[in-house]
Structure 1
Amino acid sequence: MARLYAVPAAVAVALGRWRSTHPWAALSGALWPGVTFVQPVFTWEAMVGIALPLFVVTMASQNIPGLAVLATYNYAPPTRPIFLVTGAASALTALGGAPTVNLAAITAALCASPDADPNPARRWQAAFVGGIGYILFAGLAGVTAVMVTRSPPILIEAVAGLALVGAFGAALMGAVQVEANRTAALVTMLVTASGLSFVGWVRLLGPAAGRAVHLLHWRSPVSQPAK
């Protein structure tokens, strides 16, 4: 199977499906993105109701999974410089209304896997070329946004899911190798995949449940080593 072409094929199917239901005129006015200065306004309501939740979501859904993907492929980058640089870049680009700069989990899965290059020391080239591609395709951000928002959600999910298949398999294998951590890892995955939420915290409930199971396991008399 040509796994390398799975994501481009899914994108091609998504484009074909979109074209069959939408005329090209639907893209009128969206060809060129514009940069507009956004005046920063700091209020306690925005800090508590917007900034803090977005920070937690970014850490839980992008930065931590991104580091986990890198660790799956035996990469151990220093986290402090990464967060300092991405935080400063996020503060700068926020003046133009851009989203936060983070360790995107899907991008990490694509660039860190053996599909990028069998030699781990050469996989940085995939990230470098991918970054240049992102900059070039930024000119078509308006077209992409229109196509994504008007495409069936299942097609977008399929593209993202295919990109993470390899990373998911490697992460799952690593999570269940140690028997003592196996139950906690499976609980984390199952609770997260179930979509169960508590007061809207969908992404954090799975790790919290896994952590609770892990702590209960190590505190139980059965798990304590015999003296």
Structure 2
Amino acid sequence: MSQNTEWKLRTPPQTEVWVDEDVLAMRAPLVRVHRDDAGTWLFDGPGEPPRPASRTHLSAVAGAWPHVAALTELNSGDSVVWSWEQHGWTSEFECRCGNCAQPVATDLDRSTWPSELHPEYLASVESTALSGQIMLTDILATPGGIALLGPGGQNRTSEEMTPVALANVIRRWPHTMRALRAVRDGHGMRWNPEELNWHEYMTV
């Protein structure tokens, strides 16, 4: 997995962390982050923790899943889950009144799926970005369809790309949903690691 050069988290990049094995294997989306009382980071997919997990470095996680870089205020003992409806992290908390809507770490919620995106549509994804070896940086609307690329220009060979259904693209990178909705023909969306958002640019 790639190193994240635009480091924003307060925890050092080489810190060892635990990642759900299903998330590491790209079988599940990264939708819950917890820091235990000692400050250890744990990254989970849907379902009740604890789950089988493996160790890696925080920099590798932030490189493969850029939405993790937004967790600059996550303190020891805190947890957050990804909200598919709000397209962002929301705090996990213990309800004391019994009336709160508890945030739950879930897989992609098809009930909030935007009508303009077709979940089975095949996008072309740079294989090394898909595997986490490099960071996903660009989403392009090309005459041949949607392409998702890492750094290094726009030209790729077919051998460097993998067809992936849009639903699985968004499960892999939850922070891409809004960009995929916004990208227009002849334009691209580039991830800004400083501002943690997507910026549009012209490709033609």
TM-score by length of 1: 0.24
Greater share of strand: 2
TM-score by length of 2: 0.26
